[in-house]
Structure 1
């Protein structure tokens, strides 16, 4: 298997761990209609942490498990920087991890 799949899978595990550490991982999924948003990052129905947990991670896992092409650009880190700007969270580690995911996908 292409090493990118292993790398991204490892980064996704780290992402889950960081969201849990920040207490942003939720036990219950949002309603199906919230997940069906057509807006980028579901900005109209989900928070960024919810989007990461319930949309991004599952979609990436599905692509990896089925050895389907991964996106070559995500641009999640800049969105996270804006989302967490001035917030109560120490999200530097999360933002750095998202930057690593962005970079790894871009390198292919």
Structure 2
């Protein structure tokens, strides 16, 4: 259960950002309908870099876990820094990823210590 008003505020503020990130991934054709094998999802490496692309990690690990935490009113991470990885990943991708990285930047801002 949530401890204080600040945690509750983060829950309210993260929801539209998570939805915006999902929508933008879908709009850019980066959303995947088929879930990867469980073994790939069980990776212990940062961003599951050894078994998933960053976009797969966003969809199947990050968005899933964050949405679940919000639904169940579980505590959210106290800090988060996803933008450097997003910038590195998207710099080599064809297409405009500016909005995706902007949304991820806003998520990071919400979790700045």
TM range (shorter): over 0.9
Q: How does 1:1-108 map to 2 (within 5 A)?
A: 2-106=8-112
What displacement does 1:63 show?
1.1
Displaced runs of 4+ in structure 1, greater than 2 A? none
Q: Which runs of 5+ in 1 are unaligned?
A: none
- Counterpart CA distance in 1 for 2:92 and 2:36 is 25
* Cα root mean square deviation, aligned: 1.2
TM-score (norm 2): 0.89
State which structure, 1 or 2, has the greater radius of gyration over its C-alpha atoms.
2
Local SS of the residue matching 1:82: helix
1:29-65 alpha-carbon deviations (Å, 9 max, x no partner): 0000000000000000000110000000011011111
TM-score (norm 1): 0.93
- Counterpart CA distance in 2 for 1:45 and 1:90 is 25
Alignment coverage as a number of residue pairs: 107
Q: Which runs of 5+ in 2 are unaligned?
A: none
What displacement does 1:75 show?
1.0
